Amino acid sequence: MKLTPSHLVLASTSGTTSASAIPTQADSLENRSLKARIGSGTLEDPTWIDIDCTGGVAVCNADCLAILCFGAPNPVQLDSGHSADKRKESRFSSGLLRTQEETRQGKGIYIPQHVLESTGYSLEETVMANAVEGGWGEIIVPVNGDENRLIGARTRAAWVQAHIGFDISHTLLTHVSIRPDHKVCTKKNKADTDPIRLAFVRTAENNANGQPYFHMMDVDAGDRWHRFPWGSLATTMLWAPLSV
């Protein structure tokens, strides 16, 4: 399932630092300068920053998938200096998938070895640890490590350019400017390597060995993002799935 064109767009507002990357139509960017897109930095009037997805489309696609199909927050507000705490909640770890398949299954991650060999073992945080909305509920998708680093570097460079050139704050919001097509939001007839089959989230309870346990997101079963620990009382009593 390919959701993204060739660019992502980040939008910025006042506050702290970093963000998720969401796609927009590339042809709408060609004749618009960065300065022309500078807004007030609010949700209603965001500042736009282009991120080139060339060489890292799968990473951009994972972010788009989370928002379009799982209802991940869009936009997000960034929260500088708390990414380590957020990752303790989400249990993001660079080595999480670099274990035996049986070990991964013991943690609730049912992604076959041959699939990871195709997609890559790097973890894309679709909400991001340095966002206010990061941490519990973080939807994680496996991607290629080199592509993940490439898109991350481009994103950081764009933030620096905007901050220096236009004196905006470090808080960023993401914004989708394409018409959503929710018909793609199903696992039916999708390949084993399709990201809609690979997204997972940490649960409220650990496994029998006291290790963090994860839940494979199932869009067809109604699974959607929320900011509470997956499976907690808050999610079962207070949260209703978003429709797609």
Residue type, 180: P
Residue 70 lies in a domain: yes
Residue 182 lies in a domain: no
Residue 219 lies in a domain: yes
Binned average pLDDT, 10 residues per bin, the chain of 244 residues: 53 38 38 46 64 87 89 76 92 95 97 97 90 91 96 75 48 49 88 96 94 96 92 56 42
Residue 46 lies in a domain: yes
For residue 30, the enclosing domain spans 7-176+189-237
Query: Which pLDDT value is given to residue 241?
Result: 44
Residue 183 lies in a domain: no
What are the backbone angles phi and psi of residue 200, rounded to the nearest 5°?
A: -145, 165
Instruction: Decide if 189 contacts 220 (C-beta within 8 A).
Output: no
Q: What is the pTM of this model?
A: 0.78
Residue 2 lies in a domain: no
Query: Which pLDDT value is given to residue 242?
Result: 42
Query: Which pLDDT value is given to residue 193?
Result: 95
| Total domains in the fold of the chain | 1
Residue 242 lies in a domain: no
Query: Which pLDDT value is given to residue 127?
Result: 86
Query: Which pLDDT value is given to residue 34?
Result: 38
What is the DSSP pairing of strand 47-52 with strand 122-125? unpaired
